[in-house]
A and B are shown apart, each in its own frame.
Chain A
């Protein structure tokens, strides 16, 4: 048990004396807390009082036969905890935590939609992930529901127009020029000012969590990789890390470094993509083309190291699938050095160009307090001065051994969010160069059993868009019992809903794209 775990367990034990909670250290993060009968709120209050950075990472629903399990995955500044609660299937009611942590709203809505848990006190209701014509009382992630037997109701139109002349409801999406992926936002505007945003996700819901339960762990690596096209490598890496935790497999050091290189190449191309995309949304097509021109050599590097431009398919349980050739290293270094020479140009353009300043500065400002309250992750949090980065907080792969800076800005606007990514490009280049220089020799994968022993594990990693969370439960067969994925955009969505209000309708696209939204991720 580390010092951290001792501290957190001591704190909880002293504060929660006499309450019906059991604390098991070093499980599902730093500790697992069994809290039944409504005590989960007491645990949360204790954690919130002790640490301002306490936030919700995810809520996992579990089908346990007679009962439904609800796992609250909580991150604090120094620890990662899981609060376990159970409710009977006949009467699945539990008190909401939205009043304590406002960022938990969507997490609760998702569990309510997919498992049928009723969160008492959460004012929002209705479908959030499932379609409007989904049959009542069918909760797809429960084990007794077979996907092939679900019969949808006839579709109905639910949009109502408003009565006031000055107040107009504008529906952005699911098909809209400013959104590259289908998702719907009903934006209410008064004259030109946004007063309300109602999100509706689930248009690209593919049921990957359910599908992964009927495939082997080996096949699931490729399945979860397809949750997101842009940050595919991090999904595969997070999944294999979680499975390795259940298997108690130690990956060889060379594999750790090779994974780090793949992940950082992924981050580089993702950041360049979004920096360009933001320019496109504000109508600065020239700069957009320049960013994407310079992204292309990075795509070539991914192809060189993994065999495919987009889907690297580099990860496997126990290591990586192919070794890096000595002869490729100089090529990678030259390309990265070339990219580095371009950064001053981009940095100056972002700082001095009047179009960018007008459309990005003071647009969608998210204060530090709101960022903490809404539990945002990744560059969105770091742009608001919240220094969270899983690579630093809970180093995985080789990140613990590699020196790099954590980028934070304090402005909290679109411009700051973009600049966090700009500076991270430089850091990513440094990480890759360091990894190439310090690449350990030895094997790059170890053989592992195809059957995974019964157990469960959580894992979080820093995807290009922020903290990515995985929970895998194994029942001792070759197929997982439950795979839960919480993607960064799902956590960052509340930030957009908050910052869009009071802003101009014309700023909605630029504000929105600054989250680097990925809906395939969000919906899974």
Chain B
């Protein structure tokens, strides 16, 4: 009986001792970059050249994080990333795929005003290198 009891309770002892020789389960995060899975929903990129100003993204946003603003006379989405829940419904709703995912997730900041993603005006036609 005593032997059996020791055998059973040794499970946790065994686990504890074997952990000494294993790599830590945790990661040294800021020093070792955390890797995220492919298809991770991080900060979006907005491509103004594809945008057709339909406003579907703003209409469907569940967090009310997208505001349509005037840029060079056209309605364009402005992303309030501090309110964004990263559900990517905007990317799903966009008929032209103007909103694309990235795996960037380090959005922590002191001033939430920096989390506003303004639509940049259409850049002047970039000359193709010849």
Contact = CB atoms under 8 A, between A and B. Distances in A.
B67 interface: no
Contacts of A354: 9
A369 B44 CA distance: 54
Interface residues of B, number: 25
A352 B9 contact: yes
A313 interface: yes
A307 interface: yes
A287 B87 contact: no
A296 interface: yes
User: Interface SS of chain A: helix, strand, loop or mixed?
Assistant: helix
A353 B101 CA distance: 48
A168 interface: no
A216 B106 CA distance: 31
Interface residues of A, number: 30
Interface stretch (B32-40, B70-78, B107-115, B120-128): B32-40
Contact of A222 (B9, B40, B87): B87
Interface in B1-16: 5, 8-9, 11-12, 15-16
Given A219-B60, A303-B37, A352-B5, A287 B85 contact: no
A348 interface: yes
Interface in A208-226: 215-216, 218-223, 226
B25 A296 contact: yes
A348 B11 contact: yes
A286 B15 CA distance: 10
A416 B59 CA distance: 48
Interface string A188-232: 000000000000000000000000000110111111001000000
B41 interface: yes
A308 B12 contact: no
B120 to A, nearest CB: 26
A222 B15 contact: no
B62 interface: yes
Given A303-B40, A307-B88, 20 more contacts: A218-B89, A219-B61, A219-B89, A220-B62, A222-B89, A286-B16, A287-B12, A300-B37, A304-B37, A307-B39, A308-B41, A308-B86, A311-B85, A311-B87, A313-B41, A313-B88, A321-B92, A345-B15, A351-B8, A352-B9
16 contacts: A219-B60, A219-B62, A222-B87, A223-B62, A226-B85, A287-B12, A290-B15, A307-B37, A307-B88, A307-B101, A308-B40, A311-B85, A321-B92, A322-B39, A351-B8, A353-B12
6 tightest A-B contacts by CB?
A352-B8, A222-B62, A219-B62, A307-B41, A304-B37, A313-B87
